[in-house]
Amino acid sequence: MKKRLLAIGLSLAMTAGILAGCGSGSGTASTAGSTAASKDTSAASTASTASTASTASTASNQAGGKTEMTVSGDNVTTLNVWTFIELHQQFYTDMAEKWNEQNPDKKVKLVLSNMQYDDMHNKLALALQSGEGAPDIADIELGKFPSFTSGKEIKLRDLTDVIEPYKQNVVASRLNIYSKDGKYYGLPTHVGTEVAFYNTEELQKAGIDYTTIKTWDDFKAAGVKYHDATGKEFATAETTAMWMVNLMLAQKGGDYLKEDGTLDVNNDKVVEVLQYIKDMQDAGALGVVPGGQPDNEEAYSHYDNGEFAVQIMPFWQTSRFTSYMTDLKGKVAIAPVPQFSSSDPVKTIGGGGTGTAIIASSPNADLAAQVMAFIKLSPEANKEVWNVLGFDPVNTDVWSDKELTENPDNKFVQFFNTKPFDTLNEVKDGIGSLKSLQDEKAPSINNVFCTTTLTNIFENGADIKTELDAAQAELQNEFQ
Amino acid sequence: MKKLFFSQKAAPYIFVLPFVLTVLLFWLGPIFNGVLLSFQDVKQQTFVGLKNYSRILTDAIFFKAVLNSVKYTVFTLILLIPFPLLFASFLNSKLMKKPGIFKSIYFLPALTSVVVAGTVFRLMFGESDQSLMNQLIGLFGNSPIKWLRNGDTAFFALLLLCCWRWTGVNILYFLAGIQSIPSDLYEAAEIDGASGLQQFFSITVPLVKPTTVYVLTISIYAGLSMFLESFMLWKGNNSPNNIGLTIVGYLYRQGIEKQAMGYACAVGITLLIIVMVINMIQLKATGTFSKEAE
């Protein structure tokens, strides 16, 4: 009897406990409900709660490398964008907001995911190959682009139609590098005009006037003089990139492939270029910077503290100066790159680049193409490319807009002691590119040169012709 | 149904079923698919017969990768079996005070992620004269070395990373092995006047053989499939002159980076065969199979 009483007592206590638990929960809920109801505009308050919630989720998403635009109104299309450059996120959302203002009937909401360079390209390749999980829009780097336009079927949308309205103002070579068989698959971000960055403070100490450097022979002589006078290095022989090698090869009118697209990396012009660089190195005009090229975390400090004085780099290196080589503020001049002679077929080339591609299988591919063409090629967009990113825009009309390019508030204008766009306008009519960069073999050629060939030649003193023959054999084996 | 459910005969099969299913689904399935893919050009979606395999035979980079992996494996075996065994017997010695502290210290590196450790090692072995290793050799009056751009020094860095990380783990394996040796053997040896060295070579070494065989097997496999260490040390899969390229790194480069999935599968199958053959030989030589047969 006692036991039963105890059992009943216990079970009562438990039920009470459960009820109490329930009660406290529902109590809070009802309080919340009544507060909302007590307000005159309960609908408005719910809406505001919802919007707070969504802002909160955006904020938390940002922490994970993801940014989501908040767009009001109906009929908004959500587009997923993959990029590997963090700065692009802000630029894209700014421009998408402008698109929404101008096209209220075709509003878009961009959801941007930022991933590490290799990860993004590998993930995209796998998504396209397996046919699942691809975004609507993706930034693809030039070096990786040809591998996305080769194969049985190209999984990217043909962008020729949306590029057409902007085409006459855009540097043609920059559109061509993302094309195949006459169709465009990528929207360029910048020209990447290769220019020379001279550390004027260091050069003056050695009595060198950079404005007198017009040819590679001048460049070499200045380098030797500088090295002898200061004991420091003038410029770098590259071992992990090909900014200067490609530039000089294009100036000589050479390439890595024959006209018919067969491999020809050991031809005489390539030998000549590498021999010329090797001679400069042997004479003391070039050293090898740690990291093997100027755009590298190990190299930045060596330029920043004046151990290396000159960089031959694409124009976008400006953003590396303002971010990573800040000690050089007011000490760097931008000038056209040297040439072999005034009769070179091109004055300079565009280097590097990111092509924005639209995935053909996306249900919103057409809209995405229109939006991205606006975001990347419209005159407004090209102004922002300079203002926000410090790149040389592909729309060359912008280059002559002095109000924009010489704006004293611009951090890039402030950084350099020459007007950046003066140099660009000087070479504007002579910006070429290597035709082989569009070929599917380009990524592999680049890989062999930057891992083996250049290292062996400029670090280990190997024979140029032998190394190039080895590279040719290795590549032929790959593309047999 | 009920009979089957409570059947004693069926029970073992039901208990091993999840494992069998996992093997079939995630191991045999992919391997079979991999073999199939290795005869194709995946991007062009065509069968190419033995072309991928014939390309392997003429691929100098592949052989370089194999050589790197084998060299790495051999050196890790030389460094990571005798020394941990020796350290373990020191730790087990009665003369050792507070062995727990040393055990924890040795084991700590194994708890760090390879990604973090690799990044730290990359910075330690930086080219600039301010990097840790260059400062260290600077104390002895040497000029800075480009550690990770030179075959031998880069290999040294890889081995150091490996030893730093795995010595503690192997010590634990050997310690467990040593502690399972009955202590009366040592007492008897002591009474017979055997020195510490004699005890080590005549009692410890032969009796921890099962552990040694186990460590040897996993070390061979781990050495040949090493990838992440090299990937982190060179901040990517492309080391200068491919000095840090391993078989798995080459597989990754071909399959993921160059999207030549078919060729990558052929490389993978080759790796599988190499590892299988080596492990079979080694297990045979150490008598693991014959023991089971007894």
Short-list A446, A196, A450, CA closest to A317 = A196
Bridge partners (DSSP) listed for residue A257: A263
Using CA atoms, how far apart are residues A194 and A317, in angstroms rounded to an integer?
Answer: 9
ipTM confidence score: 0.75
Q: What predicted TM-score, i.e. pTM, was given to this entire model? A: 0.78
Q: Does B103 contact chain A (CB < 8 Å)? A: no
* The pLDDT value given to residue A11: 57
* A240 interaction partners in chain B (CB closer than 8 Å): 240
Per-position DSSP letters for B198-254, written without gaps between them: HHIIIIIHHHTHHHHHHHHHHHHHHHHT--HHHHHHTTSS--GGGTT--HHHHHHII
- Among B56, B123, B234, B241, the strongest candidate for a mutation testing the A interface, having the largest count of A CBs within 10 A, is B241
Return the CATH fold of A2-191+352-400: D-Maltodextrin-Binding Protein; domain 2 (3.40.190)
Instruction: Supply the pLDDT for residue A59.
Output: 32
Beta strands A354-358 and A137-141 are antiparallel
Of A126, A301, A451, which is closest to B241 when you measure between CB atoms?
A: A451
Q: How far, in Å, are A250, A258, B278 from residue A246 at the CA level?
A: 6, 16, 45
Buried b / exposed e over A277-290, threshold 16 CB at 10 Å, is: bbebbeebbbbbbb
User: Which residue matches tokens 């160059």?
Assistant: B258
Which of B45, B236, B259 is nearest residue A125 as measured by Cβ atoms?
B259
Q: Which two tokens stand for residue B68?
A: 């790197």
Beta bridge partners of A336: A195
Q: List strands edge to edge, sheet with A137-141.
A: A66-68, A108-114, A77-83, A137-141, A354-358
Q: Does B33 touch chain A (CB under 8 A)?
A: no
**CB-based contact (8 Å) between A296 and chain B?**
no
CA distance linking residue A37 with residue A50, whole number of Å: 16
Residue A151 contacts B, CB cutoff 8 Å: yes
Partners of A235 in the beta sheet? A286
- The topology under which CATH files domain A194-349+435-479 is D-Maltodextrin-Binding Protein; domain 2 (3.40.190)
HEC secondary structure over chain A = CHHHHHHHHHHHHHHHHHHHHHHHHHHHHHHHHHHHHHCCCHHHHHHHHHHHHHHHHHHHHHHCCEEECCCCCCCCEEEEEEECCHHHHHHHHHHHHHHHHHCHHHCEEEEEEECCHHHHHHHHHHHHHHCCCCCCEEEEECCCHHHHCCCCCCCECCCHHHHHHHHHHECHHHHHCCEECCEECCECCECCEEEEEEEHHHHHHCCCCHHHCCEHHHHHHHHHHHHHHHCCECEECCCCCCHHHHHHHHHCCCCCECCCCCECCCCHHHHHHHHHHHHHHHHCCEECCCCCCCCCHHHHHHHHCCCECEEEEECCHHHHHHHHCHHHCCCEEEEECCECCCCCCCCEEECCCEEEEEECCCCCHHHHHHHHHHHHHCHHHHHHHHHHHCCCECEHHHHHCHHHHCCCCCHHHHHCCCCHHHHHHHHHHHEECCHHHHCCCHHHHHHHHHHHHHHHHHCCCCCHHHHHHHHHHHHHHHCC
Say what the pLDDT of residue B96 is. 82
Task: State residue A202's pLDDT score.
Answer: 93
Q: Residue length, chain A?
A: 480
Neighbour tally for A204: CB within 10 Å: 12
**A119 touching chain B per CB within 8 A:** no
Answer whether A477 sits within 8 Å of B55, measured CB to CB: yes
Residues shown for chain B: 294
| CB burial of residue A219 (10 Å; 0-12, 13-18, 19+) | buried
Domains A2-191+352-400 and A194-349+435-479 fall in the same CATH topology: yes
Q: Domains in chain B and their CATH numbers?
A: 1-37 (no CATH), 52-285 (1.10.3720.10)
Q: What angle do CA B92, B96, B100 make, to 5 degrees?
A: 70
Question: Residue A263 in contact with residue A442, Cβ under 8 Å?
Answer: no
> Are A118 and B127 an interchain contact pair (Cβ–Cβ within 8 Å)?
no
Q: Which of B126, B238, B258 sits opposite A451 (nearest CB)?
A: B238
Domain boundaries, chain A: 2-191+352-400, 194-349+435-479
pLDDT tens digit at each of 480 positions of chain A: 456 655 555 555 555 444 444 433 333 333 333 333 333 333 333 333 333 333 333 333 343 478 888 888 778 899 999 998 877 888 899 899 999 999 988 999 999 998 888 889 989 988 988 888 999 999 999 888 888 888 778 889 999 999 998 888 888 888 888 988 889 999 998 999 999 999 999 999 999 999 999 999 999 999 999 999 999 999 999 998 999 999 999 999 999 999 888 999 999 999 999 999 999 999 999 999 988 899 988 899 999 999 999 999 999 999 899 989 999 999 999 999 999 998 899 999 988 888 999 999 999 999 999 999 999 998 888 888 898 888 999 888 888 888 888 888 898 999 999 999 999 999 988 888 888 888 888 888 998 999 899 999 998 889 999 999 999 999 998 887
- Residues of chain A in contact with residue B241, where contact means CB-CB under 8 angstroms, are 451-452, 455-456, 460
Mean pLDDT of all residues in B86-93: 89
Min Cα distance A455 → chain B (Å) is: 6
